[in-house]
Amino acid sequence: MVQEPEPDVVRAAMAGDLAAFEWLVRCYQAHVWRFLRHLLGDGALAEDVTQETFLRVYQHLPTFAWRSKFSTWVFRVARNAGIDALRSRRRHDQLLHALPRPQPEPPPDATCRRGWSPPSGRSPPWPPR
């Protein structure tokens, strides 16, 4: 269960106190990661999105209006960041499936000879004889 921080700590973070914000991150980081791990099904992605969550919390902290618990607001930010990550991954996967499969590269010797022929009646000056 997530404990609510003291309102004074939230107010201090809202006023730009980095120590207060760091305290909030430490209090919520593990809870947010577990929530995102469950939502995303990928621990590494959950780590990335947890960082994105706290970046967004920091950027939007001045907009926190005290209409809900602070934890509710943080988890809403995490949920939205997680949904954005899922959408991004889905677009990336769709793009990969839409692209044609790359053809294997021919050996370097064939690449050099293919598509070029010497002018009629002349042989190329290489390889040296």
Q: What is the pLDDT of residues 8-40, one digit of tens each?
A: 999 999 999 999 999 999 999 999 999 999 999
The reply to whether the predicted model has a pTM over 0.85 is no
Does the pLDDT of residue 68 top 80, yes or no? yes
- pLDDT mean over 69-84: 96
Residue 103 is predicted with a pLDDT of: 75
Residue 61 is predicted with a pLDDT of: 96
Q: Which domains does the chain have, with CATH numbers?
A: 7-100 (1.10.1740.10)
Does the pLDDT of residue 65 top 70, yes or no? yes
2 three-state secondary structure: coil
Does the pLDDT of residue 60 top 90, yes or no? yes
Residue 33 in contact with residue 50, Cβ under 8 Å? yes
Residue 120 is predicted with a pLDDT of: 64
